[in-house]
């Protein structure tokens, strides 16, 4: 017959204190294994109590001994410092652990850890990994700890990576950029309340630019939802239309199936999916036999060809065109091999919207750069001279610069995008690559278009001469944008990933920087300041994965001083994870684009000036390489050193706000 001692769980001794570490009459919190213990020194003896007060979980190790009792710091309840019993014989005693005082210190015996019980969030995190969700950006906090532990287990198994950021808004922007670059969703993790609401701007960026993203937000316990508990926010209402799919995770949910639907919706609808995790649900044991989900049998090929009548109408316009032009938007970013092949069949110019910058090389004989207010005169010339426009994966919003006055064929995977701003001659609903392949096959040997390549070459010669002239502008007030982006054109690796911000610096980038094979990321329709550096975190995460499209590519982000100031603490994130990111900061001491808009509207220029530190010195304080360039002659050296540096680097370029 066994005794109670025989049935007690096995314990392991942990050294908790040095011999003279805890003075008489004091208490201290010590972590032994995974257990937080309140160590007490009272009347010459040591006690070891569970650190959680049984009433509200107050940390007893932060309390104090008064009148022979240990007082909880949260609500003043008293316990015997050695036995854990309260005065008056109440039955809410604190659990205690055996203590031994040895020559080398004080030891505490803690029960051996039991085997981990699979939770519902373990099943959900494994389902995320099965769906190829490889990166999570976020902040671990009190209302997402169970979910965070499930993500930790997947990260330690090598199935996903976690990046702890300094502001949840950066996590959402990183996810948005990752989705724009790869076409796959990353996840952003937050606590309830303010952590979740901080995600909204970055998630709206993903929403309006049709990038897949997942939001995983903690929530208060379901039993206190409604009355107004600490950090309680109605998150489904708060997120509103930013999430095209949203569900709370409940006790009775089919947990793996929720993740299946969330990721499938994010990928196929090209938008944000939101899962809300009440605190107590996160640690529920998974039902017996619960299995993680996967995409197997859940996603079909999206290579859908358009209706025959639409193809015939498009074919009719294109066969009769002498000067067709292809305009490519962000929505066609994964379809460029097929589009370029069609352009070569037609021997016609390819111009892009600003969001589509770089989708065709500016060195390609048919590439004509960006259209619109941050574009090249080459692009606007060929659009104005065209007799048919073939618009692929682009809207006709006012920022695109696409004229509604030309005969137009519009192709898009989203039927609602067709003719959204005005009627078009031939709206074609179909996946872009599949549609373009059908058109190319029909047009082979039948197109009558002129060969526009010689004229494209002449137009580039004129524009490059103009850029070279502007590059020499110097008023003694800093570097011109033309000089900066000429240097970046020469130095940035051909396959770099370039997250850019908003403002004059970005307009100048669109106008002056010549792309080869670089991938450009921007906050398109939202146009959010501060996008560039958090986006660089997301892009860098993609370069560490086994996707051959992005593996090992250099990330170079570009912003003004206004944009960098929004999320400058994320340079610490880059340092923590040793991210090989170079940030180019164009400093001109003002929100230059807003100053320009005030002048254009005949307003006084007011409150657009900026008070700045030395950003190069700030970078060095963060642990990054910090350099500066105060003149055009210093650009090559500073940029070259930063680009060659293994790890985070920042180049602070003192710019002339007028030379944009």
| The CATH fold of domain 8-111 | Rieske Iron-sulfur Protein (2.102.10)
> What is d(CA 483, CA 636) in angstroms, rounded to the nearest whole number?
10
Output the six-digit token pair for 451: 């060969």
Query: pLDDT value at position 1?
Result: 37
In 3D space, the residue among 19, 56, 63 whose CA is nearest the CA of residue 40 turns out to be 63
| Spans of all domains in the chain | 8-111, 120-283, 308-455, 472-654
Q: Is 70 exceeded by the pLDDT of residue 317?
A: yes
Q: Report, as an integer, the average pLDDT of 256-263.
A: 98
| The CATH fold of domain 308-455 | Rossmann fold (3.40.50)
Please give the residue that has the higher pLDDT: either 593 or 641.
Answer: 641
Query: pLDDT value at position 112?
Result: 87
Q: Which CATH class is domain 472-654?
A: alpha beta
Q: Which residue has the tokens 């006790």?
A: 251
Output the six-digit token pair for 362: 């500016």
Entry pTM: 0.92
β-pair type (519-521, 555-560): unpaired
pLDDT digits (tens, 9 = 90+) for 320-331: 999 999 999 999
The answer to whether 8-111 and 472-654 have equal CATH topology is no
pLDDT digits (tens, 9 = 90+) for 360-394: 999 999 999 999 888 899 999 999 999 999 999 99
In 3D space, the residue among 609, 648, 651 whose CA is nearest the CA of residue 627 turns out to be 651
Q: Report, as an integer, the average pLDDT of 623-643.
A: 97
Query: pLDDT value at position 237?
Result: 87
Taking the domain 120-283, which CATH number applies?
Answer: 3.40.50.970
> What is d(CA 41, CA 64) in angstroms, rounded to the nearest whole number?
11
As a residue count, the chain comes to 660
Q: Is 60 exceeded by the pLDDT of residue 7?
A: no
> What is d(CA 591, CA 561) in angstroms, rounded to the nearest whole number?
8
Q: Please tell me what DSSP assigns to residue 89.
A: G
317 pairs with which residues across the strands? none
Mean pLDDT across the chain: 94
Q: Report, as an integer, the average pLDDT of 170-175.
A: 98
Output the six-digit token pair for 580: 């090989």
Query: pLDDT value at position 2?
Result: 37
Q: How confident is the model at residue 212 (pLDDT cuts 50, 70, 90)?
A: very high
Q: Which residue has the tokens 């015996």?
A: 109
pLDDT digits (tens, 9 = 90+) for 335-349: 999 999 999 999 999
Cβ contacts of residue 2 below 8 Å, gap of 6+? Answer: none
Residue 626 φ/ψ, nearest 5 degrees: -120, 125
Count CB neighbours of 131 within 10 A.
24
- Angle of CA points 422, 423, 424, to nearest 5°: 115
> What is d(CA 257, CA 250) in angstroms, rounded to the nearest whole number?
12
Q: How confident is the model at residue 113 (pLDDT cuts 50, 70, 90)?
A: confident
Cβ contacts of residue 122 below 8 Å, gap of 6+? Answer: 150, 153, 286
Query: pLDDT value at position 85?
Result: 94
pLDDT digits (tens, 9 = 90+) for 426-476: 999 999 999 999 999 999 888 889 999 999 999 999 999 999 999 999 998
CA atoms in the 13 A half-sphere facing the CB of 90: 13
């Amino acid at each position: 017959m066994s005794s109670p001692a025989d049935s007690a769980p096995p314990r392991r001794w942990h050294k908790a204190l040095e011999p003279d570490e805890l003075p008489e009459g004091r208490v201290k919190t010590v972590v032994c294994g995974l257990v937080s213990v309140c160590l007490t020194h009272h009347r010459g003896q040591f006690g070891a109590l569970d650190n959680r007060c049984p009433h509200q979980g107050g940390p007893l190790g932060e309390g104090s001994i008064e009148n022979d009792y240990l007082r909880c710091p949260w609500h003043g309840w008293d316990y015997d410092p050695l036995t854990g019993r309260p005065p008056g014989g109440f039955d809410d005693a604190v659990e205690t652990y055996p203590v031994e005082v040895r020559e080398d210190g004080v030891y505490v015996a803690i029960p051996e850890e039991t085997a981990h019980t699979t939770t519902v969030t373990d099943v959900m995190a494994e389902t995320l990994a099965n769906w190829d969700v490889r990166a999570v950006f976020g902040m671990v906090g009190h209302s997402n700890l169970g979910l965070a532990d499930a993500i930790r287990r997947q990260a330690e198994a090598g199935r996903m990576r976690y990046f702890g950021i300094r502001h949840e808004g950066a996590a959402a922007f990183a996810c948005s950029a990752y989705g724009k670059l790869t076409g796959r969703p990353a996840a952003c993790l937050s606590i309830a309340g303010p952590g979740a609401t901080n995600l909204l701007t970055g998630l709206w960026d993903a929403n309006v630019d049709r990038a897949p993203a997942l939001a995983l937000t903690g929530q208060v316990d379901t039993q206190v939802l409604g009355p107004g508990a600490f950090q309680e926010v109605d998150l489904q209402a708060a997120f509103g239309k930013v999430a095209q799919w949203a569900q709370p995770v409940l006790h009775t949910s089919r947990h793996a199936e929720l993740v299946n639907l969330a990721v499938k919706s994010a990928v196929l609808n090209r938008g944000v999916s939101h899962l809300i995790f009440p605190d107590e649900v996160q640690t529920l044991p998974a039902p017996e036999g619960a299995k993680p989900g996967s995409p197997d049998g859940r996603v079909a090929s999206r290579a859908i060809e358009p209706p025959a009548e639409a193809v015939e109408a498009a074919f009719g316009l294109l066969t009769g065109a002498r000067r067709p032009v292809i305009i490519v938007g962000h929505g066609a970013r994964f379809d460029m091999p097929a589009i370029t092949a069609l352009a070569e069949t037609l021997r016609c110019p390819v111009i892009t919207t600003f969001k589509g910058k770089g989708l065709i090389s500016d060195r390609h004989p048919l590439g004509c750069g960006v259209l619109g207010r941050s574009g090249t005169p080459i692009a606007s010339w060929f659009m104005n001279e065209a007799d048919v426009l073939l618009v692929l994966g682009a809207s006709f919003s006012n920022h695109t610069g696409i004229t509604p006055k030309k005969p137009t064929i519009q192709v898009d995977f989203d039927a609602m995008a067709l003719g959204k701003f005005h009627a078009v001659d031939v709206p074609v609903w179909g996946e872009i690559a599949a549609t373009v392949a059908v058109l190319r096959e029909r047009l082979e040997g039948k197109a009558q278009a002129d060969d526009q390549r010689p004229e494209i070459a002449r137009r580039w010669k004129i524009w490059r001469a103009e850029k070279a002239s502007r590059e020499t502008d110097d008023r003694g007030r800093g570097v011109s944008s033309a000089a900066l982006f000429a240097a970046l054109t020469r130095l940035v690796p051909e396959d770099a990933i370039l997250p850019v911000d908003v403002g004059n610096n970005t307009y100048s980038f669109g106008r002056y920087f010549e792309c080869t094979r670089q991938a450009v990321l921007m906050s398109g329709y939202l146009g959010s300041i501060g996008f560039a550096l958090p986006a660089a975190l997301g892009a860098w995460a993609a370069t560490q994965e086994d996707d051959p499209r992005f593996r090992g590519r250099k990330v170079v982000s570009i912003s003004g001083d206004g944009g960098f100031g929004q999320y400058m603490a994320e340079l610490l994130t880059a340092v923590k994870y040793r991210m090989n990111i170079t940030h180019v900061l164009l400093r001109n001491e003002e929100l230059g684009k807003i100053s320009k808009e005030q002048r254009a509207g005949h307003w006084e220029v007011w409150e657009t000036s900026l008070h700045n530190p030395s950003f190069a010195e700030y970078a060095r304080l963060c642990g990054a390489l910090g350099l500066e360039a105060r003149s055009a002659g210093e650009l090559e050296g500073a940029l070259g050193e930063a680009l060659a540096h293994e790890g985070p680097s920042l180049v602070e370029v003192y710019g002339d706000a007028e030379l944009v």
